[in-house]
Amino acid sequence: MARKGLKLSLGESATTSDVADDPGLEVNLDHLRLLVKDSLDKNLFDTAIFFANKLVTLSGANPSDVHLLAQAYFLGKQFRRAVHLIQTNGFLVQSPQDSNIDFVLLASQCLVESGQHEEAHGLLEGFLGEPDTTSLRKRARRLANHVGCINSLSALCLLQGKVAETLDNRSKAVQWYKAALFCDIFCSEAFDLLVDNQLKPNEEKDLIRELVECGAFGREATWLRVIYESRLSKHDYAVPVDEKFSPLETVKCATNITLVNDLDCAADRASALFTQHDPQGAFQVAKRIREQDPYHLRSITVYLASLVELGKKSELFHTSHALVDAYPTQAVSWFAVGCYYYAIEKYDAARRFFHKATTMNQSFTAAWLGFGHAFAAQDESDQAMTAYRTASRLFTGSHLPILCTAIEYLRTNNVMLAEQFCRQAQSMCSTDPLVLNELGVVYFRQQKYEKSCECFLKSLDLCKFQPERLRHAWEPSIFNLGHAYRKLREFGQAVHYYELALSYSPKEASTYSALGFTYHLQGKSELAIQNYHNALGLKPEDTFASEMLQRALSEAYAEGGFDSFLDPDDEPPSPPGTKYTKSSKPGFDVHVSMEF
């Protein structure tokens, strides 16, 4: 029995020895690398970290394996651990030929994700230096990137731009975003950040010209230039939206499939339609996008803005609920809630949710405009202008916050400051008819009626290429032009433009009152009475039309001349009327003030 036990013991010992000698215990590092990469592809981050740690140990801290482990830490949200790994292995020091660039990029991304923006800025500044596009472009060419990969130096420039923007150095951020594009034209995120928030319309065209001149696009990126150019000059009314996006039909693959049905391009088209005061068209495009992808974030802002403009309150209610359920941590979800409360005129609640959206995403242009508009809707001009000034500081390329500030100054009768801000908005975007319309209102308030007429005519001239169905959006400019001509005592022209305004908006009581008053000044009492009656039929509480109707009837009964009863230069005061046109940025409407 003892011998049998000994044999069992010896047998066990022999088995252990056999396992120790088994060549299967030798780890295949290439197989282990594939295992780590596959785990990352399947989002099994803890598994990837487990095997990547073994890989780094067994390979003796091979640089590519260290980078793989750091990447697994990053994706597993272990940011400080990733930075520590890279730093302790000595991969953050300046290296010849930028061989450590991928480690610097990953470490910087970890610092940003962990909120250490100052540290990230210092690391990137030491590696990149100043945003000199010429020298950076030369460095980018020296990096041996594979075809179909974003240049690592371009990614570093993009990240440095984001850090600069977070640290409120927006002018430097613009330079870094431009540098990212010059290093690699395929860095589309840099283009988005420049065009959406930072560049003025003329600067957008200059950027494309400079990129073309330096050969940044090249033969392989010609198609990308078509996409980039379709996003420029949203406020240029000389080019219809259909014509602007038609070149996308020429971008196709070997199977002749084009980008016409691409959802991102469709979202850009919806934004352009809304900018050119076609909320119905924008709504139809955005609705088609949502039918294919209900959570396509790029188109949601335009969709919400169109719903506000069209007064579709029930759709706003359901959309906002769906977004909050799906994306409670996204600013656009709470912006949607603010839009709903704005549409039902509960402005206190709207302000709360717009403010929440701006807190969650400080770079949300439409939320800042909505925040200001909610204050303006309750005549709280000081708070509205504070919101607009903040938006103007954050989005240096957009003229809309400046224009909204000018409108608030107009409403508070500070005409001098209103003119100053209108001129500033015009210098930033000279092709937006809304700017010229507001400047015309300023001149009208200053009794510079000839300049006022000139601005209104230029505003209408910019819209002459728009489809006929969109002309009604500029009825206020036509109405205002009639006012200016009446003040110049060119009554025939005034009547012409009032009647033209009525052809676009036939149920505007204020237009009938103005037309009747013009006929009254001409001594045409019968026509004046008719138009006063029309105005009161649409708006019975119109005190101006009621008073002038009584005077016109008295003259008619007395069979006296109007000139003997009322001096044409002694026009009776009238209550201020307010007209509205659509804002040229996805968000809300901007009002246009005008008085008799």
Residue 289 falls inside a structural domain: no
Instruction: List the alpha helices (DSSP H) in 214-346.
Output: 222-230, 241-245, 263-275, 279-292, 297-310, 313-326, 331-343
Pick the closest to residue 267 from 239, 240, 301 (CA basis). 301
Average of pLDDT values for 424-436?
Answer: 90
Work out how many domains the chain is built from and give that number: 1
Q: Give pLDDT, residue 252.
A: 82
Residue 487 falls inside a structural domain: yes
Residue 213 falls inside a structural domain: no
Paired strand residues for 258: 252
Q: Give pLDDT, residue 343.
A: 95
Q: Give pLDDT, residue 5.
A: 47
Residue 378 falls inside a structural domain: no
Q: Which structural domain, as residue segments, surrounds residue 459?
A: 384-594
| Residue in this structure with the two tokens 């020895």, named with its chain if needed | 17
- 3-class secondary-structure state, position 114: coil
Is the pLDDT reported for residue 345 higher than 70?
yes
Residue 232 falls inside a structural domain: no
State the chain's mean pLDDT as an integer: 86
Average of pLDDT values for 354-361?
Answer: 94
Rg, C-alpha atoms of the chain: 33
Distance CA 517, CA 76 (A): 73
Q: How far is CA 547 from CA 45, 494, 498, 550, 551, in A?
A: 78, 21, 20, 5, 7
| Residue in this structure with the two tokens 């974030």, named with its chain if needed | 297
- Residues 360, 279, 273: CA angle, nearest 5 degrees: 90
Residue 467 falls inside a structural domain: yes
Q: Give pLDDT, residue 242.
A: 84
Lowest mean pLDDT among 12-21, 281-290, 469-478: 12-21
Using CB atoms within 10 Å of the CB of residue 546, give its burial: 0 to 12 exposed, 13 to 18 middle, 19+ buried: middle
Per residue in 328-343, pLDDT (tens digit) is 999 999 999 999 999 9
Residue 426 falls inside a structural domain: yes
Average of pLDDT values for 260-265?
Answer: 88
Pick the closest to residue 370 from 585, 553, 166, 570 (CA basis). 585
Per residue in 120-154, pLDDT (tens digit) is 999 999 999 999 988 999 888 888 566 668 899 99
Q: Give pLDDT, residue 147.
A: 61
**pLDDT band, very low/low/confident/very high, at 351 (cuts 50, 70, 90):** very high
Lowest mean pLDDT among 60-69, 113-122, 495-504, 548-557: 548-557
Average of pLDDT values for 69-85?
Answer: 96
- 3-class secondary-structure state, position 579: strand
We report the CATH number of the domain holding residue 472 as 1.25.40.10
Q: Give pLDDT, residue 579.
A: 47
Average of pLDDT values for 257-268?
Answer: 88
Q: Give pLDDT, residue 590.
A: 37
**pLDDT band, very low/low/confident/very high, at 509 (cuts 50, 70, 90):** very high
Per residue in 203-252, pLDDT (tens digit) is 888 999 999 998 888 888 889 999 999 888 887 777 788 888 888 888 88
Is the pLDDT reported for residue 306 higher than 80?
yes
Q: Give pLDDT, residue 442.
A: 95
Residue 39 half-sphere exposure toward CB, CA atoms < 13 A: 22
Average of pLDDT values for 495-514?
Answer: 93
Going by the DSSP 8-state scheme, the letter that residue 232 receives in this structure is S
How many other C-beta atoms are found inside a 10 Å radius of the C-beta of residue 117? 16
Per residue in 379-415, pLDDT (tens digit) is 999 999 999 999 998 888 889 999 999 999 999 999 9
Q: Give pLDDT, residue 544.
A: 92
Lowest mean pLDDT among 393-407, 512-526, 573-587: 573-587
Paired strand residues for 579: 592
Using CB atoms within 10 Å of the CB of residue 318, give its burial: 0 to 12 exposed, 13 to 18 middle, 19+ buried: exposed
Residue 31 falls inside a structural domain: no
**pLDDT band, very low/low/confident/very high, at 22 (cuts 50, 70, 90):** low
Is the pLDDT reported for residue 575 higher than 50?
no
185: phi then psi, degrees, rounded to nearest 5: -65, -15
Average of pLDDT values for 264-276?
Answer: 91
